[in-house]
Amino acid sequence: MFDQNEDRKLCIICSKGTLDMAYPGLVLANAALMEGIDVTIFFTFWGLDIINKRKMNHLKFVPIGNPSMPIPNAIGGLPGMTNVATAVMKHEIAKLDFPEVGEFLEIIHDSGGKMYACKMSVDMFHDMHMMNEEDIYEGVEAVVGATDFMEMSNGAQIIFI
């Protein structure tokens, strides 16, 4: 058990932008904030899709290549299976009364969670015509480099997703 008086910090690195990889970081951030823990989320590489206003509520769940899926890869790779799997997952998430990604980000932001985008990834995606800084969710405090994140995460528990 942790000492409740101890100042705790949690830094979550979100590196993947699929529906099934967005929720773990968001749920952990929200739970930590509810416990009074200082939370910082760093979105890098494909994790930028989570904070991309055009994509955040349209993330997909890809069933192929996941050994835990109860269907063979040959079936998971059929046309339309990603859309079916995504619809099923979104339905299950809604049944649990969890918000969509965009609303979840707003809850985290309003609860005092700090969010940052990785400069290298933003620059790379911009050069690949996949994202502009205008696409970044307004609750993201800044686009920062890895060395800035190292300073922010000093003394924190770090979770990489």
Tens of pLDDT, residue by residue over 14-45, are: 999 999 999 999 999 999 999 999 999 999 99
Is 90 within a domain? no
pLDDT of amino acid 14: 98
Q: Tens of pLDDT along 39-95?
A: 999 999 999 999 999 999 999 998 887 777 777 777 777 788 889 989 999 999 999
Is 137 within a domain? yes
User: Following CA atoms 139, 39, 130, 45 in sequence, which dihedral angle do they give, to the nearest 10 degrees?
Assistant: 170
Is 110 within a domain? yes
Is 72 within a domain? no
**21: three-class secondary structure by DSSP:** helix
Is 65 within a domain? no
Is 123 within a domain? yes
Backbone φ and ψ of 114, nearest 5°: -105, 135
Domain of 140 in residue numbering reads as 9-60+102-160
pLDDT above 90 coverage of the chain, percent: 75
* Residue 2 predicted with pLDDT over 70: no
pLDDT of amino acid 75: 76
Is 26 within a domain? yes
- Please report, for the domain that includes residue 138, its CATH number: 3.40.1260.10
* Residue 147 predicted with pLDDT over 90: yes
Domain count, the chain: 1
Q: Tens of pLDDT along 92-118?
A: 999 999 999 999 999 999 999 999 999
Is 91 within a domain? no
